Structure 1
Amino acid sequence: MTGTGRPARRLSNEQVIVLQDPDDAAFAPFGEFVKPPAVSERRAFYSAHFDPRPETAAPVVHVNRVAPSVLPLVCAGVERHPHAAQCFVPMDVSRYVVMVMPSDENGDPVPAAAQGFLVPGNRGVIFRPMVWHMGACVLDRDGNFVVMMWRGGPGADDEFRSIPPVTLMEPGA
């Protein structure tokens, strides 16, 4: 997964999203932000996102290295995984951008309802199955994520779509 990283050149009809801080309630329809437990000696569990296991699927864990992008940037493509949740846990990331959007009644992405988040490098993200999202996009410097998901289920689990350009802006820009 790779973010576009291309500097924004705004067109008059282009959608602009001002990135917001991670907001658990706003993000809940799309997944969950992964964060450390609030109390020492405790655990925060996120395993429920990976149930039920797709038939014949196997767990996949890999590390992505992502080149940095610069805000504002333009996103013209999204992806989703119909059969499995996808989890990104930063290993060495300054901050990164998450953009998600719902599907319409035909399953197509709805860019007009997109939301964008500016996420610090000490939080991960889990995308629910079927959630359209932008590819991994780090800021400031190269970044590394541990990525976890199921692979090899009953059908292809990577869908990619082009969307009308969406410009993502830093708050206060």
Structure 2
Amino acid sequence: MIHLPETQHPQRELLPQPLSSETFAPFGEVIEASAAVHHFTINAGNTERYHDLARIEPGADGRVIISIFRGQPRALPFKVEMMERHPLASQAFVPLSGRPYLVVVAPPGKAPGVEDLQVFLARGDQGVNYATGVWHHPLLALDEVSDFLVIDRSGPGHNCDEVALEPAGVITLRG
């Protein structure tokens, strides 16, 4: 636990766990080429297709768009002071730089508190698709500038809610 002067709220230590399809299921899907997902050979045997890895939901009147986000590296320990959600659609992040990154999530619904947060350490070959309404922290690249292919929604309506966390959480890595 990190100790702060009494004038500030205490912070809660958040320890990342490895990202897996099972542990991330309440928040969306893990996007990865693994033996556990539906896959088959195509293109006369030259390509293995890892099929239908995420439910991309553009919401009513929305359309699916593809962007590249270039994330600046975050230093650890990192203070988690806010979360966001997209109430109209899903949002997928697929790393292009092959570097690990952090994923911070909380269940959909009411604004989360620090006690609701879960932190995952994603490998550089794992993407995530946040289900509609799942609270998450914006992109958390580690070590170096990293590019991500982002699949999300464009369309009418307000599709980004942000909340401040008080007290904040602090992500640390042990061992």
- TM-score by length of structure 2 reads 0.83
**Partner amino acid for 2:30?**
F
* Partner of residue 45, structure 2: none
Q: Over aligned residues, Cα RMSD in angstroms?
A: 2.1
Where has structure 1 moved over 6 Å in runs of 4 or more? none
Aligned with residue 67 of structure 1, among 63, 72, 77 = 72
In the alignment, is the contact (CA less than 8 A) between 2:60 and 2:88 conserved in 1? no
- State the identity as a percent: 28
Instruction: Determine the C-alpha separation between the residues in 1 that align with 2:25 and 2:67.
Output: 25
Higher RCO (C-alpha under 8 Å, 6+ residues apart): 1
Unpaired runs of at least 5, structure 1: 1-8
In the alignment, is the contact (CA less than 8 A) between 1:37 and 1:44 conserved in 2? no
* Partner of residue 100, structure 2: 95
Give the secondary-structure state (helix, strand or coil) at the position aligned to 1:171: coil
- TM-score by length of structure 1 reads 0.84
Give the secondary-structure state (helix, strand or coil) at the position aligned to 1:122: coil
Instruction: Determine the C-alpha separation between the residues in 1 that align with 2:34 and 2:115.
Output: 34
CA displacement 1:74-109 (0-9 Å, x = unmatched):
1101110001010001111411000001245xx212
Mapping 1:67-86, distance limit 5 Å = 67-86=72-91
Instruction: Determine the C-alpha separation between the residues in 2 that align with 1:115 and 1:121.
Output: 19
Give the secondary-structure state (helix, strand or coil) at the position aligned to 1:88: strand
* Partner of residue 61, structure 2: 56
In the alignment, is the contact (CA less than 8 A) between 1:76 and 1:162 conserved in 2? yes
Give the secondary-structure state (helix, strand or coil) at the position aligned to 1:56: coil
Alignment pair present for 1:142 and 2:142: no
Matched pairs, number: 160
Instruction: Determine the C-alpha separation between the residues in 1 that align with 2:22 and 2:3.
Output: 30
Instruction: Determine the C-alpha separation between the residues in 2 that align with 1:37 and 1:109.
Output: 32
Mapping 1:21-170, distance limit 5 Å = 21-38=18-35, 41-47=48-54, 49-51=55-57, 53-103=58-108, 107-153=110-156, 155-164=157-166, 165-170=168-173
